[in-house]
Structure 1
Amino acid sequence: MTLPPAVRRWWPQLKRVHRFLTLMSGTLFRTVAPVLGSRGVARTATGRSIDTVAREPGTVALHAGGPPVAVPRRPTPGDPAGHPVFEEERTAVVPATFTLEVTNGRLAGDFGATITPGGILDHETSTYFGVFDWREHPLYLRPTLGRIERVEGSVLSLAARGASGNYYHFLYDAIARYGVFEESMPGEQVDAVVVPHGTRYQRELLELAGIPGPYIQPQADRTVRADRLLVPSNPNWALQAPPSTVSWLRDRLPAKEPPTTPQRLYLTRGSAPQTRRYLEEEELMPELERRGFVRLDPGTLSVQQQIDTFHAAEVVVAPHGAGLTNVTFSPSGVRVLELFPSTYVHRGLWAICQAIGADYRYLVATRPARPGRHNAGISDDVSIPPDRVLRAVDELLG
């Protein structure tokens, strides 16, 4: 999350303004793009990569990976029961995976927008949060593609929306795409990889997953132009955490020295406001400690330590946040209780729990959310009476 805490509550309104501005500015910037040559923004787009191939068959090719898969989900107990965010995803259809190959392709911005030599934005490999109309893509907030950096040889893109600064998105939208690349182009070697690598956890994950460099940092004001650009599809673009993706991550990132006894974990999000912290944490912790829980901030551990710790987890209680992504490495049957504000219920971590066979439950704060608006308060703090949380914990412990 890059917005200052004081304005995060206005995210839904800012997002609408953001989309409107891209729609308006893009109309102008696409008009002048032909004059700017290779620095001009994409003039048109396709919704599916197969259509991009059809429009530029001489420069674009598609390497097939896995087929589309229907993924049934188990009913989800929680309070209040039957929350629509989870009910609506009881049957998910995961699209087929592939790697798109673009000769003289361009990769724009820190979100990794794929652009063909003919000026087509391939929207399927360039998805962005809350954007379904390509004309509202943040690519069009700038009049040009910025400076063009030519990279010789074959360049693999693992750049994606949110991957630059979020552990969940880096693991599932960036690292996981390497699995798609291996599946669709087995044995293929590349000369460089465009992927965020500025933080400790990013470098650790790249090393642990065995993704070779050299690495190129995606930047908002720069476009990488490659002799041969390879862009895997994003298996998690709809926050579905497909079972095949989860299995690949579990196999690729194994535990090495897990604790010898099962762990009961409470994941803290600290004390900064507007970060989805649990407000009654200090009241809750003494009771959790009596039940054998320890308080943990996953960000204080190395990635391997996080993998090892969660590999031994028996129960995990946490307000919604990226630290809970580590249940990816927990054993099947791990018990998970996720806490949400009433204004923001997110299915991404629930989908991981479904894939690993976790006993997952949720609690949503009782303050009424606006009808149909489950993501209005993306950074709202969580306030749930501790006795309500403890009842859910005791039910989970059984």
Structure 2
Amino acid sequence: MTDYLPFAPVYRIFSPTSGAEVKELRALVDDKAWVKPDFSSSYRRLQSRSLQDEWDTFPPQKHVAYNLLFENVTISSESGLVRTQSGHMIGDTFDHSQAVVDLYKQSDAGEISIPKPKEKLVGCWLSLLFPNQDNYYHCLVMNIGRLFQINDSEVQMIQGVLVPYHLTAVQYRTIEIALKLIFCDREIEIKKIEWGQSVEVDKIFYPWNAVSLALGYTHSGVISFFRRVASSLKFLDVSFPKRFYIDRRTASNRVLHNEDELVEVLEQRGFAIVQLEYLTLDEQAGLFSNAEYIIGAHGAGLANMVFCQPETKIIELMPHTLLRWCYRQIAMVADLPYQCVITESYSESEGIPPAWASHSISIPDILDALKD
């Protein structure tokens, strides 16, 4: 039977300041100059369906990323849930977590209890524990992308890295390459944390806020870092297609009903058809970093846009009841021309959320987008 720590109130980090709960080591202001990409044709497609562009009223806003230090804390589960020495739960570490998976308890008053730690780690440890790791976008962009925040002097503080136990081969390979860029030839201890496992730690180095969902913005440092990752890989005697479509016909959600027809149309126009689930991380990074034109439905595969070089064209297929603009924003910061083709979602008739519902695309709409 699992033993639990006492219930503790939740403390959220809004603007970090030095204090008992958290120490701010460094603030990273985003100095990237950007302009909104031309969205006129996509905007016309939104208007034809009487849909509003939320960027008209709430455009992405730059934010500040922070390197934080927690001292004498308990960190729990693959999501990296942090409990401070003074008895507060850091609410930001719970975003996208699930009590049934991470094995924490929540009281009627909103306080949280995590499993008791069974070991203590000495020294300073970098936390790459993060909620919703099974989602490739969250793992790649929101978690591993935070590594751009660590400079050479901060590397010397860190003696080990905490990583989730249950990751795919692609995710582990990404972490391996990214840590190599940060720590170079230095030997660094890696400890895997399982669901519901808690450990006491002397110090946790915690890069925070590289991606702000509240402000709809990804720090440009994330893009620069993944371009470094791609350039560190060697693709000898490998020929990547310059124009490709991301095939989702094996996907379990957001099934595109007329995808066979779409594939036929795109093949006739010189697009290769790729299935990312069968590619290694190295192959995915090489594919996107060498691309000139990418078409894909909204989904985690488009997270690989962070490997793209400037001026790579992007067309995203977006269900009309979904309208999530995380990839449009990445395109803006990464200097990628971006268009969106709105598809017909069947979320209402299927009675399920838009993120899971099937949809269909208008072939004339995709042909129109290809003319721009």
TM category, shorter: 0.7 to 0.9
The aligned amino acid for 2:304 is N
Q: Is the 8 A contact 2:249 2:259 kept in 1?
A: no
- Identify the residue that residue 84 of structure 1 maps to in structure 2: 53
Cα distance change of structure 1 residues 49 and 118 upon mapping to structure 2, 3 Å threshold: farther
- Identify the residue that residue 50 of structure 1 maps to in structure 2: 16
Q: Is the 8 A contact 2:105 2:114 kept in 1?
A: no
- Identify the residue that residue 18 of structure 1 maps to in structure 2: none
> Which runs of 5 or more structure 1 residues have no equivalent in the other structure?
1-35, 132-136
Cα distance change of structure 1 residues 268 and 277 upon mapping to structure 2, 3 Å threshold: farther
- Identify the residue that residue 128 of structure 1 maps to in structure 2: 95
Q: How does 1:176-215 map to 2 (within 5 A)?
A: 176-182=145-151, 186-196=154-164, 198-209=167-178, 210=180, 213-215=188-190
1:277 aligns with 2:287: no
How well do the aligned residues superpose, as a CA RMSD in angstroms? 3.1
Cα distance change of structure 1 residues 227 and 42 upon mapping to structure 2, 3 Å threshold: same
Q: Number of residues paired by the alignment?
A: 341
* 3-state SS, counterpart of residue 358 of structure 1: coil
The aligned amino acid for 2:287 is T
1:334 aligns with 2:312: yes
Aligned counterpart in structure 1 of residue 122 of structure 2, from 152, 169, 173 = 152
Aligned counterpart in structure 2 of residue 345 of structure 1, from 316, 319, 323 = 323
1:98 aligns with 2:75: no
Cα distance change of structure 1 residues 376 and 87 upon mapping to structure 2, 3 Å threshold: farther
Higher helix share: 1
- Residues 65-94 of structure 1: CA distance to partner in whole angstroms, max 9, x if unpaired? 313668653342412157424434534121
Shifted more, 239-248 versus 61-70: the winner is 61-70
Q: Is the 8 A contact 2:230 2:289 kept in 1?
A: no
1:217 aligns with 2:192: yes
The aligned amino acid for 1:265 is F
| C-alpha deviation, 1:201, in angstroms | 0.8
1:226 aligns with 2:188: no
Shifted more, 280-289 versus 202-211: the winner is 202-211
1:392 aligns with 2:369: yes
Shifted more, 97-106 versus 317-326: the winner is 97-106
| C-alpha deviation, 1:261, in angstroms | 6.8
Q: Is the 8 A contact 1:264 1:294 kept in 2?
A: yes
- Identify the residue that residue 245 of structure 2 maps to in structure 1: 266
Q: How does 1:248-397 map to 2 (within 5 A)?
A: 248-254=225-231, 255-257=233-235, 263-273=242-252, 275-366=253-344, 376-393=353-370, 395-396=371-372
The aligned amino acid for 1:279 is H
The aligned amino acid for 1:233 is W
| C-alpha deviation, 1:343, in angstroms | 2.0
1:62 aligns with 2:24: yes
TM-score between the two structures when normalised by the length of structure 1: 0.76
TM-score between the two structures when normalised by the length of structure 2: 0.81
| Partner Cα distance (1:48, 1:188) in 2 | 27
Q: Is the 8 A contact 1:157 1:231 kept in 2?
A: yes
| Partner Cα distance (1:226, 1:172) in 2 | 26
The aligned amino acid for 2:135 is N
| C-alpha deviation, 1:335, in angstroms | 1.2
| C-alpha deviation, 1:333, in angstroms | 1.2
1:118 aligns with 2:83: no
Cα distance change of structure 1 residues 64 and 48 upon mapping to structure 2, 3 Å threshold: same
Cα distance change of structure 1 residues 85 and 369 upon mapping to structure 2, 3 Å threshold: farther
The aligned amino acid for 1:201 is V
Cα distance change of structure 1 residues 323 and 310 upon mapping to structure 2, 3 Å threshold: same
- Residues 189-225 of structure 1: CA distance to partner in whole angstroms, max 9, x if unpaired? 4232122253201211012111664333343312221
The aligned amino acid for 1:269 is R
Cα distance change of structure 1 residues 69 and 160 upon mapping to structure 2, 3 Å threshold: farther
Shifted more, 310-319 versus 40-49: the winner is 40-49
| Partner Cα distance (1:386, 1:157) in 2 | 45
| Partner Cα distance (1:354, 1:216) in 2 | 36
| Partner Cα distance (2:97, 2:176) in 1 | 31
| Partner Cα distance (1:76, 1:127) in 2 | 35
Cα distance change of structure 1 residues 333 and 44 upon mapping to structure 2, 3 Å threshold: closer
Cα distance change of structure 1 residues 140 and 350 upon mapping to structure 2, 3 Å threshold: farther
| Partner Cα distance (1:159, 1:87) in 2 | 35
